[in-house]
Structure formats: C-alpha cells, structure tokens
Amino acid sequence: MPRSTRAPLPDGYRFQQLAPGDLRDVVTLDAWAFPTGKDLDALASEPSPLSWDRVVGVVDESDDPDAVPADGAVPVRSELVAMHASYPFARFPVPGGTVPVSGLTWVGVHPAHRRRGILSAMIDEHFRRSLQRREPVSALFAAEPAIYGRFGYGKAADDLRVTIPRKAALRDVPGASDHTVRIETSDYERHAALVEDLHERAGADVGGSGLNRPGWVGRETPELQRYFWADTPLRRDGREPERIVIVERDGEPRGYTTFRRKLDWELQGPRGRVSGGEVVALDAAAARALWDVLLDLDLTDDVHPFMIPTDDVVAQWLVDRRKATPTLFDNLWVRVLDVPSALAARQYAADVDVVLGVHDARLAGNSGSWRLRATAFSGGAEVVRTDEPADVTLDVRELGAAYLGGETLVAMASAGLVAGHRPGALARASAAFAWPVAPCSSWVF
C-alpha cells in the first residue's frame, strides 16, 4: 500500500480531531467557506450527516500566546479555520463489483487563511487516513472542479439535468399501466427501508443486463440516513414538504421517486414547478409509471429532476428531447489511492493484458509500471508491479477518470492526456476499462 506524502501545515496551525460538540464551529466555518443567508443556529439544529471520527479540523494558534504551555502539554484548541471530512462507503459500486471508498466532503478554508498551503496539507492528511483505513479509492463531488485535478482526482462520471414540460410526449412502454400508484408524504419510518432496498437493487442490475451502475452509492451510515430524510422548513426553500411516489405491481414495490412542488400565482394563473429528487425503478415499465405521475401533476408546468444518469430511460423516451433542454454536469470525481487494490476490485468489459505506466506526484508508491490481466466480465483481475516497458502511460488523474468506465482512454489519448506505446494496446485497454452502463451517483455527498 503506497505511503502518502505529507505537505506540512504552515507554522501556527495544527490538525484537530473534531467531535459532535464542535458542530456549531463547523457550521460557522462552512458558512464562511460557502456563503449562505440561512440562520446559523437553525443550520446547527439540523441533523448532521458527518461521521465524526472522520472529521478533521485545522486550528490557528499563531495569535494565541498561551497556545503552547511551557510544560509541553497538548495546546488548547484555538480558532477553527479549515476542515475536511469523509464518508465511509464500504460498498461503493465500481464496474462489476464494490470497493471501500473514502467519500471526501465538507472541505473548506476560512477566506482569511487561504493561499497558505492548508488545503494541500488537508488533502494529504485525507489520503493518509484513507490508506490507513484500507480504502484504495477516494471520491467526491467538486464544488469547484478546477481545484481537485491537481490532487489527482479525475472526472469519472457525468449526470444529466433536464427540465421536462408537463405532459411531454414519451414513447410507450409495455406494462407501465399494470402498476398501482401511492403518493404520500415522505417519512423515514415508513419509507427509508423500502427506498434503500429499491435503490440498491436498481443499481445492481440495470435494465435486466446483470450489470451494475458504477458510482450508484447508497446512504450507508445512520447519520446520512437521518440527514437524507430530514424534511425541515430550512430544506424546503418555500416549497411543499417532500412527497414520495411508490409504484407497485401485484403488491410488490417496483420503484419510487421523491419530489416537491412550488406554486406561484401570476396574472395568467397558477404556475407550478415540480422539483424532482431520485427517480429509481427496477425496470422500464415501473420507471414509465413513475414518469406518468411526475409529468401529469395538476397546477404544474414542468418538472426538473435532479441528477439522472446520462443513459437514463427518460432521455431515450422523450419524443422531443430538445424541449427538455438537457444539460450535462460533472458528477463523481475519483482519486485512485492504491493502484493494485483499486484495479483488482473492478471487472473489465474485455479481456486485457496490458502494462500501465502510472505517474502519481503525491503518492509515489503508485508510480511505475503495473501489469493488468483480466478476463471480460469476470472477477479476479491480477495487478502486479513489473519492470516491463509500459504499453499505455497516464497520470493517476486520468486513471481515476477511467476507473468507473465513463471516460475512455482513447478519448483522453486524443486530448494528449494518455499515450499508447504498443500497436493496439491503447484500443484494447480502452475497451476493457469502458463499462456498458454509465456511472452516476443519484445524490450529492
């Protein structure tokens, strides 16, 4: 397992393990890093999604003459000026399998302490802790995409945002009308277990192919569950309480979607908008039944679901896709922390025997040549260090981009980011790393 480099914190700063009692300070810092007009006391009263044993702060002691006692005792904590945290995803879906992933989150630096190297030190500390926990991959959603590439994260997945007019024409799907529909106010006690079961099953077998959707991570901790289901006025932003649609066939739940509506009264009459959450179904008929509900709610004009995969069924059903104004967004960013462990954890879409030359500026143990052997759609890939010359060379950033199968090595080679050195090797490696199902996470962490 590679050792992490350690960019030092600047003089006068130190890392501080944070705890639930620090929540008010965490919320205050977060409001400095990500400006908000919401009341801080109200934010601090909301359920926290954080796993506190994985929350690390940076404190500033440079202006505190009493911070380091003369007897050498541990200094008292001073002002919290930066922090990072991670979520423990023990079953993060990758092509054909799962791998422990450290979900980097809540990364922020107070604006008065920027440009001093604090972020670099925090990222290296995150790498160190992740490797110590034997998590060979880190993933995140990037508030600012330009930041994370320099730390070796590659854009590994996209999602589609669409605004679909009410009653938009969709292609027919046999069996959709066989479903019964329940529309209820969402509730943790009533719906959480059903939602997580359907979410996991839908991601494990997409379209009856037997193939999983990489990146389709669940809310694995009690804290994330409580946060996901919290439905407070602060979350609603003037919209109604969260609703849930459940479609069933012969009494068996086959899909769900969550949504909120907001109604404005204009001179021309009521104008409503449906804000969609997840739209999750076990098959096409169930998905069509869900969309029949979303696209025919009274007093509404359009629905804009949040983060659907680029190969989502509704994008294929729209008779006039242009009217949905589809927009592509970056979804998951992936950082490979342990090359052999990460590559051995996934399956490949074609037989492959290739030597990858990897460069990693922050984790030197990843750099070098790695021979990857795998049989198509089969577990047990072999990844070993070798002295053989590389067939394909790439930076760890591009390896992360290709890891979930959403970005191809050939496309990155055409941009000058990957190089092939043996005839046919690049094409074969690209075909192997690709995955027939588009990677995507259905929620932001």
Q: According to the model, what pLDDT value does residue 71 have?
A: 53
Q: According to the model, what pLDDT value does residue 72 have?
A: 54
Strand order from edge to edge, sheet including 327-330: 308-309, 158-161, 327-330
What is the CATH number that goes with domain 339-433?
3.30.1050.10
CATH of 13-135, one of 3.30.930.10, 3.40.630.30, 1.10.8.640, 2.120.10.30: 3.40.630.30
Closest CA to 176 of 321, 315, 313, 320: 313
Domains 160-329 and 339-433 share a fold: no
φ, ψ dihedrals at 18, nearest 5°: -95, 165
Question: What angle (nearest 5°) sits at the alpha carbon of residue 103, between those of residues 31 and 211?
Answer: 135
Q: According to the model, what pLDDT value does residue 77 have?
A: 47
Q: Structural domain boundaries of the chain?
A: 13-135, 160-329, 339-433
Which amino acid does the sequence have at 199? H
With helix as H, strand as E and coil as C, how does 216-240 read?
CCCCCCHHHHHHHHCCCHHHHCCCC
Structurally, at CATH architecture level, domain 160-329 sits in: 3-Layer(aba) Sandwich (3.40)
Q: What is the pLDDT tens value at each position of the chain, 445 positions in all?
A: 776 567 789 999 999 999 999 999 999 999 999 999 999 999 999 999 999 999 999 999 875 555 454 455 554 447 999 999 999 999 999 999 999 999 999 999 999 999 999 999 999 999 999 999 999 999 999 999 999 999 999 999 999 999 999 999 999 999 999 999 999 999 999 999 999 999 999 999 999 999 999 999 999 999 999 999 999 999 898 899 999 999 999 999 999 999 999 999 888 888 899 998 999 999 999 999 999 999 999 999 999 977 899 999 999 999 999 999 999 999 999 999 999 999 999 999 999 999 999 999 999 999 999 999 999 999 999 999 999 999 999 999 999 999 999 999 999 999 999 999 999 999 999 999 999 999 999 999 9
Phi/psi-derived region of residue 95, left when phi > 0, alpha when psi is between -120 and 50, beta in every other case: beta
Which position has the token pair 């505190």?
64
Secondary structure (3-state) at 103: strand
Decide if 398 contacts 154 (C-beta within 8 A): yes
Helices 222-229, 188-204: inter-axial angle, 10-degree rounding: 110
Sign of the alpha-carbon dihedral angle for 339, 344, 348, 350: positive
Query: H or E element: which one contains 356?
Result: strand 352-359
Distance CA 381, CA 346 (A): 8
Q: What are the b/e assignments for 43-70, b being 16+ CB within 10 Å?
A: beebebbbbbebbbbbbbbeeeeebeee
Q: 423: burial class by Cβ within 10 Å (0-12, 13-18, 19+)?
A: exposed
Task: List C-alpha distances in Å: 217 to 84, 98, 255, 347, 353.
Answer: 20, 10, 17, 17, 29
φ, ψ dihedrals at 29, nearest 5°: -65, -40
The encoded tokens of residue 106 equal: 């809540």
Distance CA 253, CA 256 (A): 8
Which position has the token pair 């604090």?
118
Q: According to the model, what pLDDT value does residue 434 have?
A: 98
Decide if 297 contacts 274 (C-beta within 8 A): yes
Indicate the DSSP class of residue 62.
T
Query: H or E element: which one contains 244?
Result: strand 243-249
- For 95-223, strand residue ranges (E) read 97-109, 137-140, 154-155, 158-161, 164-165, 180-185
The encoded tokens of residue 229 equal: 């289901």
Which amino acid does the sequence have at 202? A
Q: According to the model, what pLDDT value does residue 76 have?
A: 47
Chain center to CA of 145: 13
DSSP readout, 196-218? HHHHHHHHHSGGGSS---TT---
